[in-house]
Amino acid sequence: MQHNDVTLTWRSIISDDELAGLTAAHGGSPEPGWWDRISPHSLGWVAGRAPGGELVGFVNVAWDGADHAFLIDAKTHPTYQHRGLGTAVVRYAVDAVRSAGCEWLFVDYGEDMVPFYEGACGFRPTHAGLVRLR
């Protein structure tokens, strides 16, 4: 699937180094080896690649092995933000999860992300619980 000049794919190969680079560009602190440990447990993920092949968009979908999927780790490279890429990545994930037969897709987000997840992506707010473990 295309979004402007970015190609979106479901479950395509992403290296740990690529995801660490996107995480750092996005303002996070990448942990070497994280993607190599996590990806085998995911239902899938969306990769957004610029024309030169650079990873510029990403979202991971964890799941319970049946009906419930969880959208996590959405990232858009700063040079591609505010162009609809994040919304396109999430919507592509929603379609892929629906096609996989899941009944529910959950996402956690803070108040600052309400316009994105509820406004642009169509998620509805719900009650949830949280226990801080560390």
- Residues above pLDDT 70, as percent of the chain: 100
Contacts of 99 (CB under 8 A, 6+ apart): none
Amino acid symbol at 116 = F
**Predicted confidence (pLDDT) per residue in 100-120, tens digit:** 999 999 999 989 999 999 999
Cα–Cα dist 24/32, whole Å: 11
Please answer whether residues 58 and 45 qualify as being in contact, where contact means their C-beta atoms are separated by less than 8 angstroms: yes
Pick the CATH number of 2-120 from 3.40.50.300, 3.40.630.30, 3.30.70.20, 3.30.1490.20: 3.40.630.30
| Cα dihedral 89, 31, 113, 100 sign | positive
pTM of the model: 0.91
Of 3, 18, 13, whose CA–CA distance to 91 is shortest?
A: 3
Q: Which residues pair with 47 in a beta bridge?
A: 9, 58
**Predicted confidence (pLDDT) per residue in 37-77, tens digit:** 999 999 999 999 999 999 999 999 999 999 999 999 999 99
Range among 7-11, 36-40, 123-127 rated most confident: 7-11
Please answer whether residues 56 and 79 qualify as being in contact, where contact means their C-beta atoms are separated by less than 8 angstroms: yes
Please answer whether residues 74 and 92 qualify as being in contact, where contact means their C-beta atoms are separated by less than 8 angstroms: no
